Structure 1
Amino acid sequence: MKSSPFHAVPITVRALLEQYANGSLTPSRAIADVLERLDAVDRAEVWTLRICAADLLARAREMDVLLGTHGRAIIERMPLFGVPFAVKDNIDVAGLPWSRGCSRHHCVRRVACLY
């Protein structure tokens, strides 16, 4: 696996956002690195659902444009901008299947609701 700037920094939200802000890393490079790391581990059993790599990279490229246009201001407005994360399938996320904590109750909402 090739060396990348994402592997060289502590994996903290603050460090990641600072690299975005100072231009040493882009969301698309960070996501590509995360995908490389996930593929290297090759543990499909830990995922109920993974968003396909092409969709993740397309969204990350959109974020690259936002970062290029707005700079540090986009990070201040969106504090988790470009931060990779996982969501358990019992959490309601718009457009993703969720189980409500029970595998027989899978459904997909167009809009997520917070209760």
Structure 2
Amino acid sequence: MPDPEDRSSLTDLDKRLRAARERQEQVNKPASSNRAEAAGGMAVGFRISVEIVAALMMGFGIGYYLDTLLGTKPWLMIIFFFLGIGAAFVNILRVAKQLENKKHFRDNREDDAE
């Protein structure tokens, strides 16, 4: 039959192990949220870069098509290329505003929870 002293040392060991596991979970928890934030940042960066490239290509393509159709090479291509640059900046500002609103909403929700 186990000694009461052995039983108390096992109980003490169990308590220390549980406390160590809880501390380890708390240490690892922010790392996983940092990964999610990093992945979200990469997604936003990729989205912005795709929108820039798409806007420039569309502006260039429309200008080139109209130049070919109307015989005004290279003037419409240049004009629409710069319009594509403008559209790209508008898209970047729109994405930045969405991110700011999302962050503001998340911060307000966390404040309300507290």
Per the TM superposition, whether the score is higher than 0.5 is no
Which has a greater percent of helix?
2
TM band (smaller chain): under 0.3
TM-score (norm 2): 0.28
